[in-house]
Structure 1
Amino acid sequence: MTTTVIPPAVRPPAGPAHRDGNVLRWLGAYTASMIGDNVFYIALSWAAVRSGTPSQAGLVMAVSAVPRALLMLGGGVVADRFGPRRVVIGSDAVRCAAVLTVAALLFVAHPGLWLLALLAVVFGIVDAVFMPAVGALPARVTRRDQLARVQGMRGLAVRFANVVGAPLGGLGVALGGSATAFALAGLLIAVSVPLLISVRMRETPPAGGANTANTADAANTAPAGAEAVGPPGDPDGSPDSVPARGDASGPHARVPDAEDGAAAVPERPATAWRDLRDGLRYIRGHRVLAPLIVTIALGDLGFVGPLNVGLALLADRRGWGASGMGLVVAAFGAGAGAAALLLAWRGTLPRAGSAGAAALLGGSVAIGALAQVPGVGAAVGVALAIGLLAGLSGALCGALLQTQSDPAYLGRVTAVAGIVSLGLAPLSMPLTAAAIGWWGTGPVFAGSAVVCGLGGVVALAVRDLRRAELPR
């Protein structure tokens, strides 16, 4: 009789995420891709303005949002079916090829707005699968107890990309026009591909384990950080097809057979539509994720309008000028960056659910106060507080979204949260502008603060979300 010895699974290193070369390679890829995105949108806006009327340029800039919003739920299914690493690599490769192709065409000809509109649509379609996969990827590159730190590091990368990307895009336009800027964006996105290929995927907890929150004894069935080896040949450690069932047994549940003492039931083939329905059912029945997404939605709806179009109108009515508005925006960015740095340094915060709710409530009060301050100096101080509190709340909500989700559903969970943030919240901007024209800045900022604060109220009212903790 021969004995087959199965080697133990390789465990992730015990060090913090900011010292893990694997995480740093992922972070470098993400940062390069985000800087490339910022350069791309500068190049696209400049090329559209030079090729058409202001209204036509606005349509070109907005057209990518339609396929992104319509297809993002399907993108979440794609990320869960094929693994986020594969999807992100493929998405970045497609985006890089599309941008470099347009750059080459602009170098030799002037094809007009149709090419820019087509490029924007391609970006919107690719973003619909890219964004859910990006959201699901951190859980595959680090341990659960490091996800909050990685969320903070990701926030710092976004702030860095926003600060660096716009000047780089402007420099590209100044040196060689839109074609040069597009080429620069394509090269930056291209940098992310080999870095992502070099990233190793961690073993992930089995579906229906400690993160599902749908089983009474879930916390006892799989300790934090429990991991399972994925199918051979899958670099993501995720199956190519996830036969999700949407119940407490998780998406990898096995159909009972004769050996289980029950009649064998033929398993229905998994389809994309079935995976989508199972993902939505999973979110709806989850005691933490369902209220968490409502909290995120209310926070974004109350935040996006005032801090974008509302701030410009407020600065104009107060006589702060463009420089004053720039100082306020910079203060907000500094506060949000400080919140991300805090989470990246600490790695976790106690009572994350309650802390996120309290930060959201404090940020909503600061949003209402911003419209009442008369001078730029006071507005800068209030904006700093908004950035710190809103950034902390957003980082904690993002970390809870990562740690509470079953890895097999994480792409779909991220897609639903992304639709709220990128599809519904931007709709508040024209409504905010129209409302300020009717009622003024004070009442509109106060109403937005109430909507934002309701998110904090929901988080405090739901016991499971209020008591939610980040793994340590």
Structure 2
Amino acid sequence: MAAPAPAAERPAHRDGNVLRWLGAYTASMIGDNVFYIALSWAAVRSGTPSQAGLVMAVSAVPRALLMLGGGVVADRFGPRRVVIGSDAVRCAAVLTVAALLFTTGPGLWPLALLAVVFGAVDAVFMPAVGALPARITGRDQLTRVQGMRGLAVRFANVVGAPLGGLGVALGGSATAFALAGLLIAVSVPLLVSVRIREPAGEVTGGDHQPDGHADPRERGAEIDGHARGEENGGHARVPGGGGTDGSGAMPQRQEREARQKGREEQDGQDRQEERQAARATAWRDLRDGLRYIRGHRVLAPLILAIALGDLGFVGPLNVGLALLADQRGWGASGMGLVVAAFGVGAGAAALLLAWRGTLPRAGSAGAAALLGGSVAIGALAFVPGVGAAVGVALAIGLLAGLSGALCGALLQTQSDPAYLGRVTAVAGIVSLGVAPLSMPLTAAAIGWWGTGPVFVASAAVCGLGGVVALGVRDLRRAELPR
């Protein structure tokens, strides 16, 4: 369903189309948070702590391996269709495991399989989610949409964990899984009602054939029609009058069987050609997307800056913070205050962008925020007490949230919509696939060298992203539409 052009001119926070998408996205994200609470609880109850850790981490592998292909799928078939299908598959998988746990005891293998399925579906879902905002609103509203999306993520993080805990408390992991499945299911009808703006030059999916060749199914239909045209009234025209009287003509039954065999062989050949054409087209689309990013004067350095920022950010602010709180004696309550301060800062940045709609000199502002956030990350390991740590975490959240939203908005506005799924996939590989795998390395490095050197090294990696953004003129001067 295509949206009328005037609707795209409304402010995003007043556009019913955007608000339906936001409701769907929020419900799906809350369901994700509930799902991970249920998965972690069920895994801990079903095996050893190390086995539970493997179950929780296994979804990152298919996500990292398949995300490039997921970007191709999002661009070929349309992000809305892919997001709807992904949410439907995730909902069905979670509800299936919930039903299994209601009838039998929890086991590691179903949980591990569910985590793998979630990771594989996420590899398609996340590029499509990144490509969808550009199809539902105007370019001048994408920064505001990024802010609204950031608020939805923060809301889902705050609400999802207590809901998951409540589900576990009321009925165990099965109830929590069922609740997660129902929340994800809420997103499907909302997404179906979202209207899509079809940008010019979009790569349409499904029926495109490379090099201008006709669909092999059409060739098969022509062959079948030609074969059927040789029949007249149910009787084949046999040269020489036909019959079995020694005239040399093939009997009618044998001739029909031969034609049927020929059609079956042709159908098999056509199906094989279809599969080969689909593989060749998908591979070509992937290469085209990578070539497009590599040749873009803003996107290539922007994606590098995002990757460096995520690599320097994920380890210290996840496993590193827990180890720092343990070493300093802040306890779980102190760590909770630091995490909450980070969330408040990130939420404030998202609220600012949702309210303002844009910021001038977005490229320079994003780079400056990334550099400031990296300094704050390094300083976190040297603060004297939990109160100072809360203040530093607030600054990290504000600066990281601002740089992340600005980089995301630039990614949306600088990309050709036909390539946006692949661009989002490449940008997300590091942050969603590779960076989480760095957390064990961060923990091991802290064990060897302590929190201070590791936090400083991570801050340097993060700051290098800001240096890249400031050092490339086209990215530094990049602006968001107003």
TM-score, normalised relative to structure 2: 0.82
Query: Do the aligned partners of residues 111 and 144 (structure 1) sit closer, same or farther apart at CA in structure 2, a change above 3 Å counting?
Result: same
Within 5 Å, which residues of 2 pair with 1:12-411?
Answer: 12-13=6-7, 15-110=10-105, 112-203=107-198, 271-411=281-421
Coordinate RMSD, CA, aligned: 10.4
Query: Do the aligned partners of residues 236 and 171 (structure 1) sit closer, same or farther apart at CA in structure 2, a change above 3 Å counting?
Result: farther
Q: Deviation per CA, 1:296-355: give whole Å up to 9, x if none.
A: 011011111111111111111111111111100000000000000000000000000000
Query: Do the aligned partners of residues 433 and 143 (structure 1) sit closer, same or farther apart at CA in structure 2, a change above 3 Å counting?
Result: same
Q: Deviation per CA, 1:82-139: give whole Å up to 9, x if none.
A: 0000000000001111111111111111251111111111111111100100000000
- Cα distance, 1:428 vs. partner? 2.4
Q: What SS class does the counterpart of residue 244 from structure 2 fall into?
A: helix
Q: Deviation per CA, 1:18-57: give whole Å up to 9, x if none.
A: 0000000000000000000000011111111111111111
- What count of residue pairs does the alignment treat as equivalent? 438
Higher share in helix: 2
CA contact (8 A) 1:243 1:251 kept: no
CA contact (8 A) 2:346 2:399 kept: yes
CA contact (8 A) 2:72 2:285 kept: yes
Query: Do the aligned partners of residues 421 and 82 (structure 1) sit closer, same or farther apart at CA in structure 2, a change above 3 Å counting?
Result: same
CA contact (8 A) 2:369 2:403 kept: yes
Query: Do the aligned partners of residues 198 and 142 (structure 1) sit closer, same or farther apart at CA in structure 2, a change above 3 Å counting?
Result: same
CA contact (8 A) 2:43 2:55 kept: yes
Distance 1:263 1:290 in 2: 71
CA contact (8 A) 2:86 2:121 kept: yes
- Cα distance, 1:229 vs. partner? 12
Query: Do the aligned partners of residues 264 and 107 (structure 1) sit closer, same or farther apart at CA in structure 2, a change above 3 Å counting?
Result: farther
Query: Do the aligned partners of residues 285 and 453 (structure 1) sit closer, same or farther apart at CA in structure 2, a change above 3 Å counting?
Result: same
- Cα distance, 1:12 vs. partner? 3.1
CA contact (8 A) 2:230 2:236 kept: no
Question: What runs of 5+ residues in structure 1 fail to find an aligned partner?
Answer: 1-8, 204-222
Query: Do the aligned partners of residues 263 and 202 (structure 1) sit closer, same or farther apart at CA in structure 2, a change above 3 Å counting?
Result: farther
Distance 1:151 1:34 in 2: 15
- Which moves more between the two structures, 56-65 or 192-201? 56-65
Q: What SS class does the counterpart of residue 228 from structure 2 fall into?
A: coil
- Cα distance, 1:150 vs. partner? 0.2
- Cα distance, 1:254 vs. partner? 45
Query: Do the aligned partners of residues 183 and 229 (structure 1) sit closer, same or farther apart at CA in structure 2, a change above 3 Å counting?
Result: closer
- Cα distance, 1:381 vs. partner? 0.4
CA contact (8 A) 2:31 2:179 kept: yes
CA contact (8 A) 1:29 1:193 kept: yes
Query: Do the aligned partners of residues 135 and 243 (structure 1) sit closer, same or farther apart at CA in structure 2, a change above 3 Å counting?
Result: farther
CA contact (8 A) 1:246 1:278 kept: no
Query: Do the aligned partners of residues 21 and 170 (structure 1) sit closer, same or farther apart at CA in structure 2, a change above 3 Å counting?
Result: same
Indicate which of 407, 423, 441 corresponds to 1:431: 441
- Cα distance, 1:16 vs. partner? 0.5
Question: What runs of 5+ residues in structure 2 fail to find an aligned partner?
Answer: 213-223, 252-278
Distance 2:375 2:25 in 1: 33
CA contact (8 A) 1:276 1:412 kept: yes
Distance 2:359 2:231 in 1: 28
Distance 2:122 2:90 in 1: 9
Question: Identical aligned pairs, as a percentage?
Answer: 90
CA contact (8 A) 1:354 1:466 kept: yes
Query: Do the aligned partners of residues 331 and 228 (structure 1) sit closer, same or farther apart at CA in structure 2, a change above 3 Å counting?
Result: same
> Does 2:457 align with 1:447?
yes
Distance 1:393 1:120 in 2: 30
CA contact (8 A) 1:242 1:270 kept: no
Query: Do the aligned partners of residues 190 and 403 (structure 1) sit closer, same or farther apart at CA in structure 2, a change above 3 Å counting?
Result: same
- Which moves more between the two structures, 428-437 or 182-191? 428-437
- Cα distance, 1:430 vs. partner? 1.6
- Cα distance, 1:262 vs. partner? 56
- Cα distance, 1:13 vs. partner? 2.5
Distance 2:299 2:227 in 1: 17
Distance 2:460 2:393 in 1: 17
- Cα distance, 1:248 vs. partner? 52
Query: Do the aligned partners of residues 224 and 111 (structure 1) sit closer, same or farther apart at CA in structure 2, a change above 3 Å counting?
Result: closer
Distance 1:245 1:124 in 2: 49
- Cα distance, 1:234 vs. partner? 16
Q: What SS class does the counterpart of residue 46 from structure 1 fall into?
A: helix
CA contact (8 A) 2:29 2:153 kept: yes
- Cα distance, 1:70 vs. partner? 0.5
Q: What SS class does the counterpart of residue 270 from structure 1 fall into?
A: helix
CA contact (8 A) 2:364 2:476 kept: yes
Q: Deviation per CA, 1:403-439: give whole Å up to 9, x if none.
A: 0010000000000011011122123212221221122
Larger Rg: 2
Query: Do the aligned partners of residues 248 and 452 (structure 1) sit closer, same or farther apart at CA in structure 2, a change above 3 Å counting?
Result: farther
Query: Do the aligned partners of residues 274 and 370 (structure 1) sit closer, same or farther apart at CA in structure 2, a change above 3 Å counting?
Result: same
CA contact (8 A) 1:244 1:252 kept: no
Q: Deviation per CA, 1:348-390: give whole Å up to 9, x if none.
A: 0000000000000111111111111111111100000000001
- Cα distance, 1:10 vs. partner? 3.5
CA contact (8 A) 2:46 2:106 kept: no
Query: Do the aligned partners of residues 234 and 449 (structure 1) sit closer, same or farther apart at CA in structure 2, a change above 3 Å counting?
Result: same
Distance 2:406 2:457 in 1: 24
Query: Do the aligned partners of residues 458 and 421 (structure 1) sit closer, same or farther apart at CA in structure 2, a change above 3 Å counting?
Result: same
Task: Provide the residue aligned with 1:213 in structure 2.
Answer: none
Q: Deviation per CA, 1:123-168: give whole Å up to 9, x if none.
A: 1111110010000000011100000000000000000000000000
Q: What SS class does the counterpart of residue 231 from structure 2 fall into?
A: coil
Distance 2:180 2:336 in 1: 25
CA contact (8 A) 2:231 2:237 kept: no
Query: Do the aligned partners of residues 120 and 249 (structure 1) sit closer, same or farther apart at CA in structure 2, a change above 3 Å counting?
Result: farther
